Amino acid sequence: MKYLTQYVKSDITQHAKSELPNECCGIIYESDNEYKSKRCIRDSSHTEDKIGVFSDADKKVSRAHGLPLVMYCVSNEKFLEYI
């Protein structure tokens, strides 16, 4: 997960904790040779981090767009990835 730099991890962690008890959503992108993250509007169809697994809907969107998914689980402070 080369795009999960300390900066991106810190931003995602802060975002996730600020939205508790709700989940949050964002995108990781590359700009000027560095990875950044941007917060997005929440969508209730996303996976809840309480479960710690990606939903079938999440996986379908990932495959359709050819993009990996990243999940940060607040409860165990771990990042998960679906490719």
Q: How many domains does the chain divide into?
A: 1
Domain of residue 54, residue span:
6-82
Domain membership of residue 29 (yes or no) is yes
Tell me the pTM. 0.80
* Structure confidence by residue, pLDDT tens digits, 25-78: 899 999 999 999 999 876 655 555 456 788 888 899 899 999 999 999 988 999
DSSP state of 49: T
Q: Answer yes or no: is 1 within a domain.
A: no
Mention every residue, 6+ apart, whose C-beta is less than 8 A from residue 76: 52
Q: Is residue 22 part of a domain?
A: yes
